[in-house]
A = this chain, B = another copy of it.
Amino acid sequence: MCFCFLTCAQAQVLYDFTAEPGNNELTVREGETITITNQSIGGGWIEAQNSRGEVGLVPEDYIEASNGNDPWLAWNADPSGGSNNNWASNPEGTQTAKSTADPWGSTSHGHPQAYQGPGAEDDEWDDEWDDMKSTGGYVESESGDGGAMQRGGAHATSMKISLNKFPGFSKSGPELYLLCKQLAKSKDKLPIYMGEVGPVWSYPETQLDCVVADPKKGSKMYGLKSYIEYQITTTNRPVNHRYKHFDWLYERLLDKFGSAIPIPSLPDKQVTGRFEEEFIKMRMERLQGWVTRMCRHPVISSSEVFQLFLTYKDEKDWKMGKRKAEKDETVGVMIFSTVEPEAPDLDPSEVEQKCEQFSRFTKAMDDGVKEILTVGNEHWKRCTGPLPKEYQRIGKAVQNLSSVFSSSGYQGESTLTDAMTATGKTYEEIAQMFAEQPKKDLHFLMETNNEYKGLLGCFPDTIGVHKAAIDKVKEADKLVATSKITPQDKLTMAKRVSTMSYALQAEMNHFHSNRIYDYNRVMQLYLEEQVKFYETIAAKLRQAHSQFTTM
């Protein structure tokens, strides 16, 4: 998703691009700075002006916003304020718009290690572009009129399509479900039971497990276009998927479940360094995290579309499944029509109270998580920057003094100089250890919190749907009085808002139990590695200490 709010921003050209004559294109060269004059062109193009004042279209993946170069920004509070604003007031529920609020997110997200190396090859944009051409253009692309269109070529315009198609997020809001005359009979029911902790989804006996591994470079067009394919293995035979397939799945899940279940975004699309080893590893790790989270969700993991993704038999099966999923009409707020709580209806005021509570909690946790990310980010920078340099310098200084001592011509001080040299080298090793440690512990703490930041960022929209429903129910008396709805409609609305509340409670309980599991695990891992780290340092220093003469 690359819907950018910035206009007239400066951007760096990443790769040479030669304009095709007569196409309103602009020839640009790698390293050139251009000014973006229109982000909303769509089709993977932006309009830009070069330093000579010439204006024309440039493929958006060939450029990078000039201010998005600090990869660490992604781990801090969203610098554009977009994500924060979400929490303020967003009653209409604009989840799709929200998840793209970080302009140039594709270059500013990700892990620092993933940003090294040039990575001049270009993959998916070109590739999608090529797909489009080969299938005769945009609207007729393989993915039909929804989902996959929003990826690749059609970033900006996809928003409108999405808003039109996605009833839950349209202006009509949750009343589509609240006032729906006849609920469609879906065969996929989502029961909610009363567990020890309150309402819970129906959990499968065994949790789906899934491994994303073995990234392989594939190519088309005689090697001109290349991409990375990941192998995804559940209990079934492995399937292969490209990033764009994950993205298609994400869009489907968001369409179908987004009103009831926060669907975390995928790791961001990345233009530069796409085939760089570290980047591929990082993306794989994050895709693994994303799929694992989906697997752990009882509603998502058992959904047809998710099962299709993991277990399609062959290309034909996959294509058929895709088309079917794209035609699914139980999407947006209509997902609540499949929710069946086995519990008495709640009073609307009780619903409101629950909703407020979850809103407060997720907001507070969002703040807490961002604080950890900010602090962790600082710590990472210190551990990989000034600290190793300092220990390195300490090591060098001790070794230098030792070598001066060796030149004294005084006999019998080799024990001292050997011990000092060893001490100096030990501090150099400690420098190295400091530099490498964050990858071993802080990395996972950061990744977990980053994942939760993403997840928490989806809650305002999910909660927003509930708030809009509550507001609608509050209007019910007036609507009855003005004969806009019948008294029976009012009762139906109250019942349905109760159902929505049970869904939210089940989702919150799911969130809490996952949160407890995740934080317990990551804190343990972090501390384990930290203990090892400090113990290793102590052991190394003890070894150096033992080389001095005991007096």
Interface contact B531-A542, CB-CB below 8 Å: yes
The chain B residue sitting closest to A545, CB to CB, is B527
- The quantity of this chain's copies bound in the complex is 2
Rounded to whole angstroms, the CA-CA distance of A410 and B200 in the bound complex is 12
A527-B423, A541-B534, A544-B527 given; A519·B416 CB < 8 A = yes
* Cβ-defined contact, A534 with B545, below 8 A: no
Question: Which partner residue on chain B sits nearest A549 by CB separation?
Answer: B520
CA distance A18 to B414 in the complex (A): 62
Q: Does A208 contact B (CB under 8 A)?
A: no
**A12 interface residue per 8 A CB criterion:** no
Looking at A76-84, A169-177, A363-371, the stretch in contact with chain B turns out to be A363-371
Evaluate whether A545 and B519 lie within 8 angstroms (CB atoms) in the complex, with A369-B401, A397-B371, A410-B197 already known.
Answer: no
Chain B residues near A419 (CB-CB < 8 A): 520, 523
A531 to chain B, nearest CB (A): 5
A521 contacts B551, CB within 8 Å? Answer: yes
A329 within 8 A of B: no
Contacts of A521 in B (CB 8 A): 551
Which residues of chain A from 382 to 415 have a CB within 8 Å of any chain B CB? 382, 386-387, 390, 393-394, 397-398, 400-401, 404-405, 407-413
Bin the interface of chain A by size: 35 or more
Cβ contacts under 8 Å, A398 to chain B: 372, 523
Does any Cβ of B come within 8 Å of A516's Cβ? yes
A513, chain B: closest CB distance, angstroms: 8
A541 touches B527 (CB 8 A): yes
Q: Which residues of chain A in 356-381 are interfacial with respect to chain B, using CB atoms and an 8 Å cutoff?
A: 357, 361, 364-365, 367-369, 371-372, 374-376, 378-379
A531 touches B527 (CB 8 A): no
Is A401 in contact with B375, judged by CB distance below 8 angstroms? no
- Cross-chain contact B401 with A390 (CB below 8 angstroms): no
Q: Tell me if A9 is interfacial: C-beta within 8 Å of chain B.
A: no
Residue of B nearest to A452 (CB): B401
Return A153 CB to nearest CB of chain B, in Å.
41
Cβ contacts under 8 Å, A551 to chain B: 517, 520-521, 524
A545 CB to closest chain B CB, in angstroms? 4
Is A196 at the interface (CB under 8 A from chain B)? Answer: yes
- Known: A390-B375, A520-B549, A531-B545. Is A368-B400 also a contact (CB below 8 A)? yes
Instruction: Report B-chain residues with C-beta under 8 Å of the C-beta of A374.
Output: 397
Report the nearest B residue to A527, measured CB to CB: B545
Are B413 and A512 touching (Cβ within 8 A)?
A: yes
Q: How far is the CB of A143 from chain B (nearest CB, A)?
A: 39
Given the known inter-chain contacts A371-B400, A390-B378, please indicate yes or no for A548 contacting B527, CB distance below 8 A: yes
Given A357-B409, A372-B398, A416-B516: A524 and B542 interface contact (C-beta under 8 Å):
no
* Among A371, A420, A423, A523: residue with most chain B CB under 10 A: A523
Nearest B-chain residue to A538, judged by Cβ? B534
B516 with A404: CB separation less than 8 A? no
A549 to chain B, nearest CB (A): 6
Q: Considering the chains assembled together, what is the distance between the CA atoms of A515 and B410 in angstroms?
A: 11
Whether the pair A397, B416 counts as a contact (CB closer than 8 A) is no
Query: Which chain B residue lies CB-closest to A371?
Result: B397
Q: Give 8 pairs: A residue, B residue, CB < 8 Å, sorted on A.
A: A364-B407, A371-B401, A375-B393, A382-B386, A398-B523, A520-B548, A527-B548, A534-B537
- Apart from the given pairs A197-B412, A378-B393, A520-B551, 20 other A-B contacts in the complex at a CB distance below 8 Å: A357-B409, A361-B408, A364-B404, A368-B397, A372-B398, A374-B397, A375-B390, A375-B393, A382-B386, A408-B512, A416-B516, A416-B519, A419-B520, A423-B527, A517-B551, A527-B542, A531-B541, A534-B538, A535-B535, A535-B538
Top 7 nearest A-B pairs by Cβ distance? A527-B545, A534-B538, A410-B512, A368-B401, A535-B538, A368-B404, A364-B404
